């Protein structure tokens, strides 16, 4: 292996040291990625013990696999791939009816038309990121079907590129983009239902606070929803 190539592909890690089993370099790798891998696992599995198992198994496998790691993908992508496969294995074991993430979702009618048309961007940051809001954010992710959830977690939570996400999941760029789009639309929908209510409540108590333009403040029908019967 060429040293220069190793530097580029191993993201600041010495692949040589990792492959020689150097414990200091390996612990640096563990420290860099354990946080992300643990949170990926806990969001995929929604269970702390399972997430811890995935975390440990990922690095045990990585340690053994490093010797043959060919550096063709980034080391982080490779770790996410091991972790994702571990988590999917647990999901399949626990839920025999679990749909494969390879299931094609690129069908015509997979897109759900937005129902919640509420502009809640005006809510203050401390409200959008309150403890309760964070719980809602997590709950919305848990509602996603597995095939969309894992793409969303890799792209938007772990910041992988479209191509890297495709490498982790063996999906084409188009499939990654389509799934990410559907995941985001569903999450937007869920959050709009929740934050829309907060906007309503705020408007009721402080009619002028959320709008700079006075004529806009009178237009309470900015909050519209097609799901009128929706609870």
In the shown chain, the binding pattern of residues 138 to 157 toward other proteins, with x for contact by CB under 8 A and - for none, equals ---x--------------xx
Q: Cα separation of 217 and 24, whole Å?
A: 60
| Per-position x/- string for 92-121, each x denoting binding to other proteins as judged by CB under 8 A, each - no binding | -------------------x-xx--xxxxx
Q: How far apart are CA 148 and CA 99, in angstroms?
A: 11
Please name the residues in contact with 52: beta carbons below 8 A apart, sequence gap of 6 or more: 38, 41
* Least distance from other proteins to the Cβ atom of residue 52, Å: 5
Q: Return the residue matching tokens 């440990």.
A: 56
C-alpha distance from residue 49 to each of 34, 37, 56, 87, 90 (Å): 15, 14, 11, 12, 11
d(CA 150, CA 136): 18
Only one of the segments 26-34, 79-87, 142-150, 206-214 lies at the binding site for other proteins (rule: CB under 8 A); that segment is 26-34
The nearest distance, CB 93 to other proteins, in angstroms, is 21
**Residues found near other proteins in the complex (CB under 8 A):** 23-24, 26-27, 30, 34-35, 38-39, 52, 55-56, 59-60, 63, 111, 113-114, 117-121, 128-129, 133-134, 137, 141, 156-158, 162, 177-178, 180-181, 184-185, 187-188, 191-192, 219, 221-222, 224, 226
């Amino acid at each position: 292996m060429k040293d220069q190539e190793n530097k580029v592909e191993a993201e600041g890690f010495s692949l040589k040291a990792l492959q020689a089993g150097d414990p200091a370099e390996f612990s640096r790798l563990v420290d860099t990625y354990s946080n992300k891998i643990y949170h990926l696992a806990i969001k995929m599995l929604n269970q702390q013990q399972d997430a811890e198992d995935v975390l440990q198994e990922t690095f045990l496998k990585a340690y053994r696999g490093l010797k043959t790691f060919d550096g063709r993908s980034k080391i982080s992508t490779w770790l996410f791939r091991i972790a994702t496969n571990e988590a999917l294995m647990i999901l399949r074991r626990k839920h025999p009816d679990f749909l494969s993430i390879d299931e094609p979702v690129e069908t015509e009618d997979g897109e759900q038309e937005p129902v919640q048309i509420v502009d809640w961007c005006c809510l203050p940051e401390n409200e959008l990121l309150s403890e309760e809001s964070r719980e809602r954010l997590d709950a919305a992710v848990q509602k996603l079907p597995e095939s969309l959830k894992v793409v969303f977690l890799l792209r938007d939570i772990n910041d992988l590129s479209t191509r890297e996400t495709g490498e982790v999941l063996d999906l084409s760029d188009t499939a990654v983009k389509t799934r990410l789009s559907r995941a985001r639309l569903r999450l937007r929908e869920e959050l709009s239902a929740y934050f829309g209510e907060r906007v309503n409540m705020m408007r009721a108590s402080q009619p002028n606070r959320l709008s700079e333009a006075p004529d806009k403040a009178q237009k309470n029908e900015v909050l519209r929803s097609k799901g009128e019967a929706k609870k």
